[in-house]
Amino acid sequence: MKLHGLYAKIIKKEAYNDLRSMAGAFDDFEEYPIISRDSRLKKLQRKLEKKDISDFLLGLAVFVLNTVRALARSNQRQLELTAITFTRFDASGGSTLVPQLFIYPSTAAGALRQTLIKNQPETDSMEMTKVKQLFTTCGFVESFLFLESRFLDHACNEELVRIYAIPRQTM
C-alpha cells in the first residue's frame, strides 16, 4: 500500500486539501470533517482493518491540525482555539470515530473554552471515554485537554454531544 495513494484518495475532495481555506479570514468557528462522505470511509475499509481506521483518521487529523497552526503562525495569524472534535457517536458510523478539525479564530474562543471547562461533568461520559481511549491507543492522550459539550437541540429533540480535544501547547 502506497502512503501517498491512500492519503490522496481521502484528502483530494475534502475542504482541507487546500490549507489556505483553513488559515483564511473568517470570523466564526469552522469545523472540517476529516472525511465528509461515507464513500471515502468505505475506501479506507478496503485498505485497513476496521479497528485501525479511527487510529488512521486521528493521526491524519493531528497532522493537518499541526500544519494549519504552523501556517497560521508563519502568516502572523492568530487562531484563538484549535481542536479536534468528535460529534458522531451513533450506530451509522459503527465503531469508527471520525474526527473533525475545529478552528475558532475569534477572541470569543476564550469565553467558549472557559464555559466548556466550567460545565464539565464530574465523570466521563461514554462518548468521552471512547475518544480518550482512541487518543490513548495512538499515544496522543497526554498532549490534549478533553472537554465535552452536551445540549438538547429542541429542533430535532435530540441531545447533541461534541467532544473537544484541544492541544495542550495552545492552552
Closest by Cα among 148, 96, 160 to 123? 148
Residue type, 44: L
Quick one: angle between helices 3-11 and 38-47, nearest 10? 170
- pTM for the model: 0.87
Q: What is the pLDDT of residue 54?
A: 92
Question: In the chain, how many domains are there?
Answer: 1
- Residue 37, all three cell numbers: 462522505
Q: What is the pLDDT of residue 27?
A: 59
> For 76, how many CA atoms within 13 A lie in the half-sphere containing its CB?
0
Chain CA centroid to CA 28, Å: 17
Closest by Cα among 88, 77, 85 to 167? 85
Q: Hey, which bits of 23-115 come out as E strands?
A: 30-33, 81-86, 100-104
Structural domain that includes position 83: 3-170
pLDDT in tens, the chain (171 residues): 677 777 777 888 787 877 766 655 555 677 888 988 877 888 888 888 888 999 999 999 999 999 888 888 887 777 788 899 999 886 554 678 999 999 887 777 888 888 888 989 899 999 999 999 999 999 999 999 999 998 888 888 888 899 999 999 755
Q: What is the pLDDT of residue 142?
A: 96
